[in-house]
Amino acid sequence: MRYLLDVNALVALGFLNHEFHERVARWLLSLRKGKPYEILTCPITELGFVRVLSQAPQYGLTVAQSKTLLVRLKKQRAVSFQFIADDHDISRLPVWAKTGRQTTDGHLAELARGHGSVLATLDERIPSSFVIPE
């Protein structure tokens, strides 16, 4: 199975003090016991990681520190990351994306599907996504 992490799942995995870090880490550990899997990122999720960590005061990181953290996360051996190109234009936005807040989720869900994967998220409101279990 191939999973494209959404921004929140990637932030939770990469920032040890995140409230959902353990949840995402446990899920990834559970994957090791099953069938082969891949964890994916894309331009939107990587940029979102840097944006969230550098804008939110509770994290206290600069853009450079956030970038360094993500590069280190992707190089560690516990999880093998693959980067996918964002080759979808607006014509692929799903019909369920009716508000501005749903556009990125819809785009990522379709991008994942287009690359033979599923969007892995902590958000239960994204159709056709995989909600990382508690």
What are the residue boundaries of the structural domains of the chain, listed by start?
Answer: 2-128
3-state secondary structure of 130: strand
pTM above 0.85, yes or no: yes
Give the model confidence (pLDDT) of 45-98 as tens digits. 999 999 999 998 888 899 999 999 999 999 988 888 999 999 999 988 899 999
What pLDDT score does 58 carry?
86
Between the alpha carbon of residue 113 and those of residues 20, 106, 117, the distances in Å are 25, 11, 5
What pLDDT score does 78 carry?
83
Q: Percent of the chain at pLDDT above 70?
A: 100
Between the alpha carbon of residue 100 and those of residues 37, 85, 105, the distances in Å are 32, 23, 10
What pLDDT score does 129 carry?
97
Give the model confidence (pLDDT) of 103-129 as tens digits. 999 999 999 999 999 999 999 999 999
Q: Are 127 and 112 in contact (CB under 8 A)?
A: no
Looking at domain 2-128, its CATH superfamily turns out to be: 5'-nuclease (3.40.50.1010)
